Amino acid sequence: MESSVPPIGDYSLETLAVRAGQQRSQFNEHSEALYLTSSFVFDSAAQAAARFSGAEEGNVYSRFTNPTVSAFETRLAALEGAEACVATASGMSAILSLVMSLCSSGEHIVSSSGLFGATQQLLGTIMPRFGIQTSFVEQTDVAAWRAAIRPETRLFFLETPSNPLTSVADIAALVEVAHQRGVLVVVDNCFCTPILQRPLDLGADLVLHSATKYLDGQGRVLGGAVAGPKRLTDEVFRFLRTAGPTLSAFNAWVLLKGLETLQIRMQAQSAKALQLAQWLERQPRVTRVYYPGLRSHPQFELASRQQKSGGAIVSFTVKGAREEAWKVVDSCRLLSITANLGDTKTTLTHPASTTHGRITPEQRALAGVSEDLLRIAVGLEGVVDLQNDLETGLSAI
């Protein structure tokens, strides 16, 4: 590495998104270099020993660090206003690594009940086998979070807005409750990204990402990240370098390019989502629309304060149950039937039978995922085309 350009300084988010973290090699490339190498060579046996012991900084092996991955970590840390960031192979491996490095057997987590399905399974079903219990509470009920704290509680885990019902947690209020009792607050910021919401500014201790979603933004690669103070991300890093779910250099390179357009994508997709949500509210076969940018949303005021806009996820219920919801899915021609979200191509999902299909019916009921519910992750197509497609879908009921 020859130089780091430019210094991060006090640049705006737009500038950080395209510039932060770049390291130019001796070739002075303009676009970030992709270092596809599993290991790095040393000048001498003494240097090898110093690198391995940590006495000298530098790359050793790509399970530990890689320059392309480091560039992505620096850029995302700059966007989140974090001191440090560690990248992981997927969003789920970010969550796993975080829990494995910050919690021990006998400790406890309080989490919102409306979680991404795999997160719910990890915390509710897998981690208890290793002695880490999670209590699930209604995310808008601050008193319920306070009441769920035990002496052994280590973390508050929240996703806001939640998936798929877009319920909004009051980050600052939960931080106050947690910090009074020495509990860390972790926010999964996947739906908003730092463009719309910066949890660390509100006092959260760590931010998590499924980079697979908006950070890539074009449905190409999986990735994840944990950002926050170095003393905490270092603990996650120690688990990662040993256990191995690190981000690949190739995926990091794709994600670096994704970050460069994050702001304009988030703004455009969010504006389209608001238009679509308002339109859905007027459709006779739609019974309820969930979108934090709508006045009808129960936490509209909070969302307006906490987020720059409502985001790009819109959920709604239709007249009927599973059969009717599936008819809408099967009759749309343009919207992609896929569980992914955060893509430039709009996607349509029936959460109860897909993303939330593997959790128990009780967990599903607690998360509010009913059979008549559909979720749209709005992309970059024309709003009129999306409306026409949904109109075809809804008229099939």
Ligand X SMILES: *Cc1c(COP(=O)(O)O)cnc(C)c1O
Element (H, E) at 119: helix 117-121
Closest CA to 183 of 158, 161, 201: 158
Nearest CB to ligand X, comparing residues 116 and 145: 116
Residue 167 as a binder of ligand X (CB under 6 A): the answer is no
The pairing of strands 153-159 and 184-188 is parallel
Q: Which of 149, 190, 302, 378 binds ligand X (CB under 6 A)?
A: 190
Here's the x/- map for ligand X, 100-139, by CB under 6 A: it reads as: ----------------x-xx--------------------
The residues near 231 (Cβ < 8 Å, ≥ 6 apart) are none
Number of residues that bind ligand X (CB under 6 A): 15
Cα–chain center distance at 305: 20
Residue 212 as a binder of ligand X (CB under 6 A): the answer is yes
Give the integer Cα–Cα distance in Å for 26 and 370.
Answer: 57
Nearest CB to ligand X, comparing residues 116 and 239: 116
Residue 92 as a binder of ligand X (CB under 6 A): the answer is yes
Give the integer Cα–Cα distance in Å for 9 and 7.
Answer: 6
Give residue 348's identity as a one-letter amino acid code.
L
Residue 213 as a binder of ligand X (CB under 6 A): the answer is yes
The residue whose Cβ lies closest to ligand X is 91
Which position has the token pair 């256990």?
A: 243
Give the integer Cα–Cα distance in Å for 300 and 346.
Answer: 24
Nearest CB to ligand X, comparing residues 73 and 324: 73
Here's the x/- map for ligand X, 5-24, by CB under 6 A: it reads as: --------------------
Nearest CB to ligand X, comparing residues 90 and 317: 90
Residue 317 as a binder of ligand X (CB under 6 A): the answer is no
Residue 210 as a binder of ligand X (CB under 6 A): the answer is yes
Closest CA to 259 of 207, 213, 228, 227: 213
Token reading at 82: 């974090």
Give the integer Cα–Cα distance in Å for 137 and 115.
Answer: 11
DSSP 8-state secondary structure symbol assigned to residue 43 = S
**Which among 50-58, 89-97, 260-268, 371-379 is the span making contact with ligand X, rule CB under 6 A?**
89-97
Q: How far is the CB of 11 from ligand X (least distance, A)?
A: 28
Residue 222 as a binder of ligand X (CB under 6 A): the answer is yes
What does the binding site for ligand X look like in residue numbers (CB under 6 A)?
90-92, 116, 118-119, 159, 163, 188, 190, 210, 212-213, 222, 224
